[in-house]
Structure formats: C-alpha cells, structure tokens
Amino acid sequence: MSSCSKKPQREKLKSIAFKDEKTLKNSSFRGVDCKDNLCVISGSNGFIFFYNHTGGNWYVNQIKGAHTLDFRDVAVLGAADFCLMSAGEGKKSSIYKKSDADFDWSLQMQNEEEKGFYDGIDFIDENNGVLIGDPIDEYLFVMHTSDGGKNWSRINPSNCSEIQEGEYAFAASGSSIQMIDESSFYIVTGGSRSMLYFTDNLGESWTEIETSLPSGEASQGAFSFDYYSSDLMCIVGGDYKNPSEKGQNFSLYREDKGWHQPEGASILPYLSSVKILNAKMILATGTEGTFLSKNAGQKWEVLDVGGYHSIAYDAKSNAGMLAGSEGRVRPFRLE
C-alpha cells in the first residue's frame, strides 16, 4: 500500500459508484495501489495487473521467474515506477522494482533471514518508503528506503519497540504500516497482543498503544490502519479464522475521544482492510463483506458488492479498487 498522494478534503463527494466485478487470472489479490487514475493489483502466482480508470483498460504482467511468488503489496510511485513486495518464508519474501515503460522487473532485495517474512510496504513519495516484516528477534523488524525501493536498510533494532512472543504484523492487505511524512509512520500488529506503534523520527523513538481489537490467538489482531488527519484515524481487524464473529473489530481515533469503538461499529465482522475516503466516508472490507460509513465511523451499512481482501483509493482522481480472492477485482469512484 502506498500513501504517495495526500488526502484533500472532499466532503462534497457523498456516494460510491462501483463498476461490475471482474475476474482476472486464477490469483488471490492482496496488493493494490492507485495513483492518478492508474490502479495496480498484485497477487499469487506472480501476477500483476494494471487498470486505467479513464479508459477502463486492463493489462496483465507475470514476472519472469516469479510465478511461485505471492505479491501481497505494491506501491505506485509514478506513471511507470512501481515497487512490489512478495510475502513468504525465507527467500519467498522479496522486493521487485520497475521504473521504465517496459514490463521488465528487477529483483532489488531478497530476505535472507530464516524467520523473516515480509508483511507490507508503504511510500510517502517516489523515494521514501518503509517495510514491516515478522520479527527475527525481540524487536520490531522495520526497513527503510530513500531511493524508491532500490536499496533498503533495517531501522536500528535497539531503538525499536520490544515485541511480545507471538506478536507480528499481518500480510493480509499490505496495510499494517503507513507513512504520513518522510520520518513518521504507524504500524499495527496482532497475534499474542494487538498493538499500535508510532514513530516521528524514523524509528529512533516510539509511542506504543495497546488496541481494543481481539488478540491472544495467532489469527487475531489489528490487520489494517489508515490515517486521514491528526483528528481522524482508524484500525480494523478481528479473527480471520472466525470471520463472522462481531465485536471489537473497529477502533476509531478522534482528538476529543481518543481511541474508541463507536456503538454502531459493533455490527462489523472480521475486516482486513480499511480506507478513509474523506472526512465522512470510511470503506472497510474483509471476507464477510464490504461496509461503508457515511458519518466518520459512527454507523455502518453493508454494501451489495461482496467481500475482498484489500482496498486502494486515490483522493486526487477519486478512483479506487477492491481486490480479493479467486482473481476478483472491482473498480470504484467517489461522486
């Protein structure tokens, strides 16, 4: 997931227009990013799809030699500049880069840690990005790039927060990490405990908050975070092994109330991805369905579009995409 485009205030946009669902190759899609009417979707079996919202055209690309990889996150850095992350144990976790008009991808980094497992990437611009991975020691595993994903270095673990045994980020939608400027980003975790971590100095120091989302089991926790402003942020998650179970699966931040769950959010099941579309509208999805709030998280309605893994949205073009299992994708726009 990328945060390259900031979210302008667009309260006048009050409805979502979904296009028909399209089934692409036999691939499970979890990586998706949109920028300037271009959406890129990545998934299992090495498949990458490009969609132009203006013309409605689709293009497919399968990375040579990567047909066994599961590309769970992607960042659109420019019109022909992309960073791609695969997830998996050991060398199955990797970073690929494409920065030309051809469909040529180059391997930039491959995980060499036995316990390593990449979970998500996020970029604030075409150069600066971060990566969250499963812990290989007792600290958060976070990497940083300042050249668009060509080179990565681990943020000093001795400065990072100590994590609990069995605690980790999820690779369900690539949205467990989000940058808000060149030195500030948030991370959410799950498993043995569900935490929110924040740094405003590239990991030299951290703020830690325990969330109200389920935790204690390997399948539970916070799965996705989104930041709109210092007065509006949210987290979604739950238990992916018991996806229909409702309860504390949504947490909202407002400056006057802090982190809390609005009463109307108790209807929400397990959710793997959330996106704040404007100051009023929040879209969330998971295997049980897709849900919309039109009053900043206070009340929710289920949408008749099915459930997906991931959401991407570009506020500049008002264009977005839902991506899910069995090759299913659904473009949308705010109107």
- Is residue 330 scored above 90 in pLDDT? yes
As a whole-number percent, the residues of the chain with pLDDT over 90 amount to 89
Q: What is the average per-residue pLDDT within 247-267?
A: 97
Cα 9 to chain centroid distance, Å, stands at 21
Please give the torsion angle defined by the CA atoms of residues 240, 242, 247 and 249, in that order, rounded to the nearest 10 degrees. Answer: 0
β-strand partners of 273? 285
Q: Read off φ and ψ for residue 90, nearest 5 degrees.
A: 60, -130
Q: What is the average per-residue pLDDT within 305-328?
A: 97
Q: What is the average per-residue pLDDT within 301-315?
A: 97
Q: What is the DSSP string of 213-260?
A: S--SSTTEEEEEEEEEETTEEEEEEEETTSTT--SS-EEEEETTTEEE
- Is residue 1 scored above 80 in pLDDT? no
Q: Which of 22, 56, 11 is nearest to 319 (CA)?
A: 56
CB 329 within 8 A of CB 322: yes
* Model pLDDT, residue 104: 83
Rounded distance between C-alpha atoms, residue 131 and residue 176, angstroms: 10
Q: What is the average per-residue pLDDT within 106-116?
A: 95
* Model pLDDT, residue 6: 45
- Is residue 59 scored above 70 in pLDDT? yes
Confidence of residue 26 (pLDDT cuts 50, 70, 90): confident
Q: What is the average per-residue pLDDT within 85-112?
A: 91
* Model pLDDT, residue 213: 98
- Is residue 262 scored above 60 in pLDDT? yes
- Is residue 8 scored above 60 in pLDDT? no
Confidence of residue 5 (pLDDT cuts 50, 70, 90): very low
* Model pLDDT, residue 25: 80
Q: Which of 261, 259, 219, 263 is nearest to 238 (CA)?
A: 219
Q: What is the average per-residue pLDDT within 181-207?
A: 98
> How far is the CA of 25 from the CAs of 47, 48, 67, 195, 324, in angstroms?
8, 10, 12, 35, 12
Confidence of residue 64 (pLDDT cuts 50, 70, 90): confident
Residue 334's CB is within 10 A of a number of other CB atoms, namely 20
- Is residue 164 scored above 70 in pLDDT? yes
Please give the torsion angle defined by the CA atoms of residues 243, 211, 176 and 140, in that order, rounded to the nearest 10 degrees. Answer: -130
Report, at the CATH architecture level, how domain 118-334 is classified.
Answer: 7 Propeller (2.130)
CB 91 within 8 A of CB 83: no
Q: What is the average per-residue pLDDT within 201-215?
A: 97
* Model pLDDT, residue 23: 92
Instruction: For the chain, give the mean pLDDT.
Output: 94
Please give the torsion angle defined by the CA atoms of residues 280, 286, 290 and 296, in that order, rounded to the nearest 10 degrees. Answer: -10
Report the first-to-last Cα separation within the chain, whole angstroms. 23
Confidence of residue 124 (pLDDT cuts 50, 70, 90): very high
Q: What is the average per-residue pLDDT within 219-229?
A: 98
Q: Which of 2, 9, 1 is nearest to 315 (CA)?
A: 9
10 Å CB burial of residue 269 (0-12, 13-18, 19+) is: buried
Q: What is the average per-residue pLDDT within 49-64?
A: 91
- Is residue 288 scored above 80 in pLDDT? yes
Instruction: Please give the structure tokens belonging to residue 199.
Output: 């740094």
- Is residue 221 scored above 70 in pLDDT? yes
Confidence of residue 14 (pLDDT cuts 50, 70, 90): confident
β-strand partners of 331? 321
Where do the domains of the chain lie? 118-334
Confidence of residue 251 (pLDDT cuts 50, 70, 90): very high
- Is residue 101 scored above 80 in pLDDT? no
| Cα-based angle 283, 285, 289 (whole degrees, multiple of 5) | 115
Q: Which of 122, 145, 28 is nearest to 76 (CA)?
A: 122
- Is residue 15 scored above 50 in pLDDT? yes
pTM over 0.85: yes
* Model pLDDT, residue 13: 64
> How far is the CA of 312 from the CAs of 34, 175, 289, 321, 325, in angstroms?
6, 10, 16, 5, 15
Rounded distance between C-alpha atoms, residue 34 and residue 331, angstroms: 10
- Is residue 9 scored above 50 in pLDDT? no
